[in-house]
Amino acid sequence: MGLGGCIILIAVGAILAFATDWEMKGVDLDIVGLILMAVGLLGVTTFTSIARRRRAVVPPVAPTVVDPPDEDPGRRYDGRY
């Protein structure tokens, strides 16, 4: 479930808990709304913690320096061409 789904769960839960006065036999819609909001909040926190780990900054690796090939294999490279 993505971030959008979690936000939808929170919104639907809030609507059921606070904005309706429906009554169903055997079901308390206020409690169902609170449960949906709790699940939505749990999903948002899980999603953001996973997203934070994915976006961890990796320090750049130092470039590898390769010496130019020697024209004379017996001569060492002294930094000048």
Which tens digits make up the pLDDT trace of 25-50?
A: 999 999 999 999 999 999 999 998 88
Structural domain count of the chain: 1
The parent domain of residue 48 ranges over 3-54
Does residue 9 lie in a domain region?
yes
Structure tokens at 48: 């953001």
Does residue 34 lie in a domain region?
yes
Does residue 72 lie in a domain region?
no
14-25 mean pLDDT: 91
Q: How many angstroms separate the CA atoms of 73 and 81, rounded?
A: 14
Does residue 66 lie in a domain region?
no
Does residue 74 lie in a domain region?
no
Q: What's the pLDDT score for residue 31?
A: 94
Structure confidence at residue 14 as a pLDDT band (50, 70, 90): very high
Does residue 42 lie in a domain region?
yes
Structure confidence at residue 6 as a pLDDT band (50, 70, 90): very high
Between CA 63 and CA 73, with CA 68 as vertex, the angle to 5 degrees is 140
